[in-house]
Amino acid sequence: MTDGWANSGLDLHLAIDPRRKTASLEDAVRAAIRDGRLPAGTRLPASRSLARDLGIARNSVAEAYSRLVAEGWLEARVGSGTSVADRSFLPVAEAAPQAERALRLDLRGGIPDVSGFPRTAWAAAVRTALAQAPGAALGYQDLRGAQRAREALAGYLARAMGVWASPDDLVIAPGFGGVLRLVALALVARGARRIAIEEYGHALHREILSDAGLQPVPLPVDGEGAVVDLLDDLDVDGALLTPAHQFPTGVALSAARRTAVVRWCERTGAIVIEDDYDGEFRFDRRAIGALQALAPQQVVYAGTASKALAPAIGLGWGVLPRELMVPVLEQRRLAGAATGAIAELALALFIETGGYDRTVRSSRLRYRARREHVDGVLRQRMPDARLTGMAAGLQSLLELPDGVDEVEVSARAAALGLRIEGLRSYRADAVGAPSAGRRSATFVSHRPAMVVGFGAPPESRFEESVAAMIAAIGAAR
Amino acid sequence: MTDGWANSGLDLHLAIDPRRKTASLEDAVRAAIRDGRLPAGTRLPASRSLARDLGIARNSVAEAYSRLVAEGWLEARVGSGTSVADRSFLPVAEAAPQAERALRLDLRGGIPDVSGFPRTAWAAAVRTALAQAPGAALGYQDLRGAQRAREALAGYLARAMGVWASPDDLVIAPGFGGVLRLVALALVARGARRIAIEEYGHALHREILSDAGLQPVPLPVDGEGAVVDLLDDLDVDGALLTPAHQFPTGVALSAARRTAVVRWCERTGAIVIEDDYDGEFRFDRRAIGALQALAPQQVVYAGTASKALAPAIGLGWGVLPRELMVPVLEQRRLAGAATGAIAELALALFIETGGYDRTVRSSRLRYRARREHVDGVLRQRMPDARLTGMAAGLQSLLELPDGVDEVEVSARAAALGLRIEGLRSYRADAVGAPSAGRRSATFVSHRPAMVVGFGAPPESRFEESVAAMIAAIGAAR
A74, A108, A138: best to mutate for the B interface, most B CBs within 10 A: A138
Average pLDDT of the segment spanning A199-216: 95
pLDDT of residue A72: 64
Calculate mean pLDDT across residues A125-133.
96
Query: How many CB pairs lie under 8 A apart between chains A and B?
Result: 250
Mean of per-residue pLDDT scores for chain B: 85
More confidently predicted of B100 and B111 = B111
Provide the CATH topology of domain A118-354. Answer: Aspartate Aminotransferase; domain 2 (3.40.640)
Give Cα B258 distance to the centre of its chain. Answer: 27
CA dihedral sign, ordered A67, A68, A71, A74: negative
pLDDT at A92 (0 to 100): 32
The more confident residue out of B293 and B288 is: B293
Q: Is B433 on the interface with A (CB under 8 A)?
A: no
- Within 48-107 of A, beta carbons closer than 8 Å to B belong to 67, 70-73, 87, 89-91, 93-94, 96-97
Element (H, E) at B123: helix B119-132
The confidence score (pLDDT) of residue B78 equals 65
pLDDT band at A99 (very low <50, low <70, confident <90, very high): very low
pLDDT at B251 over 60: yes
Contact B311 A338 (CB under 8 A): yes
pLDDT greater than 60 at residue B348: yes
Instruction: Say which of A73, A111, A207 has its CB closest to residue B159.
Output: A73
Closest residue in B to A179 (Cα) is B336
Least confident of A24-33, A344-353, B304-313, B392-401: A24-33
Task: Give the ipTM of the model, two decimals please.
Answer: 0.78
Residue of chain A nearest B161, judged by CA positions = A72
- In angstroms, what CA-CA distances link B187 with A248, B225, B330? 35, 25, 12
Domains of chain B, residue spans = 2-95, 118-354, 358-475
Other C-beta atoms lying within 10 Å of the C-beta of residue B25: 28
Residue range B363-386: average pLDDT? 93
Task: Please give the helix or strand (H or E) that residue A239 lies within, else none.
Answer: strand A238-241
Residue range B358-475, CATH number: 3.90.1150.10
Q: Do domains A2-95 and A358-475 have the same CATH topology?
A: no
pLDDT at A423: 94
Q: pLDDT grade, residue B36 (50/70/90)?
A: low
When mean pLDDT is compared across A22-36, A362-376, A398-412, the lowest value belongs to A22-36
**In this structure, which topology does domain B2-95 adopt according to CATH?**
Arc Repressor Mutant, subunit A (1.10.10)
Average pLDDT of the segment spanning A159-166:
89
**B289-321 confidence digits (pLDDT tens):** 899 999 999 999 999 999 999 999 999 999 999
Cis preceding-peptide flag for B248 (omega within 30 of 0): yes
Residue A418 φ then ψ, to 5°: -115, 130
| Average of per-residue pLDDT values in chain A | 85
pTM for the structure as a whole: 0.78
Output the pLDDT for position B414. 94
Question: What gap in Å lies between CA A371 and CA A392, rounded to an integer?
Answer: 9
pLDDT of residue B24: 75
Residue B83: Cβ-neighbour burial (10 angstroms; 0-12, 13-18, 19+): middle
Mean pLDDT of A373-379: 95
Least confident of A168-172, A370-374, B443-447: B443-447
Q: Does B30 touch chain A (CB under 8 A)?
A: yes
What pLDDT does residue A70 have?
A: 59
3-state SS string over B150-187?
A: HHHHHHHHHHHHCCCCCHHHEEEECHHHHHHHHHHHHH
